[in-house]
Structure 1
């Protein structure tokens, strides 16, 4: 990350392996101390992200470091996301609870002036990921993503650049009510819960009702007959097939060399230090 990396190398003696460990430890601390902790700026009680601590306890939060080229482009970042999808969907998880499956990738070597590539890649791949029932989050020191209940709080700022992949959850209506395709994918999975009155959070209900009124129930039918075939599974390979992995931007051999394919729980804080609730998202 540019000057930050140079300062860390000078302070720690210059070893690349040491620097890699610093980045991984920074990610672990951020996950366990910040996301598992409370912050009044989020606008609700409980953990900043209520899913992280349960995933850690279930040993289903997979934290990896993937090297990226300092010359990586948006296309390269999208290709990296494709690889994340392949790893996520092909992984053997410790728990059958799919809602706890989480892949977090630390982007090693991403320069400061390339941080916003994660935001642009997220914007471009979001429709196809949502159609597959997946959600991608981007985190970095300059991330402008805001808390759903407090738009003045930039909730996704992290010490090192990361991408996180997980299954779509009920609270994701807060992020998927802005366009017809995304909301339709959400409605097809969770609409019946709202219709039956089984979603207790009034904020979720408000967002869902507003999006349903805006896009209409007809959007679901249109999705089923057209764009929605991705949700049904007919074109679920589109995202992975769309972009070939760029040479040097992602390397499983490199990850094996550094020995960093490890999960968080072995190094995380005790679960008792990670308060959670069930009321939803950041």
Structure 2
């Protein structure tokens, strides 16, 4: 059985096919585990979240419209070239977005499961994500890393760890106006302003003013 979407670096399946077991047997366990985690954790509230609602408000509508894709890298026998695979993710997101409405483009999510990475040390995954992020943001995309021991806290609670998943994975979606807190560098901020300056909500404007103010103080 071949993937619905496949190239020399990456295989992707819509969540509906993963749920029905319509993926090659070696990938059913890892992909099924992440799909269950998506439904049971990301779509649920959590007492440590620090706000009401699900951990990720976009997961349920993405799954409902079958815009939630799960994938694995291709190993041609010589090992997996992870940086090249990550670069391919940008291309696949663009292809899948091309014929979608603006609303559906914001719901399109690609999750690549990396079960062979170290489950007790996120250093390799963190570095992979960090090196890729500049190019993704420049293309109007967000790339995030999830890992069993990911130390990143939540936005609303410093004790909550929303990026902990059963297996290491990378997730790609459209850059949204509410992503300002996840953009660390001045280059990221410049890309954000180019895309959203005219439509930034009041809450985001307050955060932006605070960041620019503190940046000016630091520079002085």
Tell me how far 1:46 sits from its aligned partner: 0.7
Determine the structure 2 residue equivalent to 1:264: none
Match of 2:30 among 15, 20, 23: 23
Match of 1:86 among 82, 88, 91: 91
Structural RMSD (CA): 2.7
- CA deviation string 1:195-215 (max 9, x = no partner): xxxx15x3x343222123345
Distance across 1 between alignment mates of 2:118 and 2:185? 32
Report the structure number with the largest CA radius of gyration.
1
Equivalent position SS for 2:35: helix
Distance across 2 between alignment mates of 1:94 and 1:110? 34
Gaps of at least 5 residues in structure 1 are 1-16, 217-282
Determine the structure 2 residue equivalent to 1:243: none
Determine the structure 2 residue equivalent to 1:233: none
| Contact 1:68 1:109 (8 Å CA) reproduced | no
| Contact 1:65 1:106 (8 Å CA) reproduced | yes
- 2:139 equivalent to 1:132: yes
TM-score normalized by structure 2? 0.76
Determine the structure 2 residue equivalent to 1:262: none
Q: Which has the higher helix share?
A: 1
Determine the structure 2 residue equivalent to 1:160: 167
Distance across 1 between alignment mates of 2:115 and 2:91? 19
Matches within 5 A, 1:1-282: 20-67=27-74, 76-91=81-96, 95-96=100-101, 97-112=104-119, 115-176=122-183, 178-194=184-200, 199-200=201-202, 202=203, 204-214=204-214
TM-score normalized by structure 1? 0.61
Distance across 2 between alignment mates of 1:92 and 1:187? 22
The alignment covers a number of residue pairs equal to: 191
| Contact 2:44 2:53 (8 Å CA) reproduced | yes
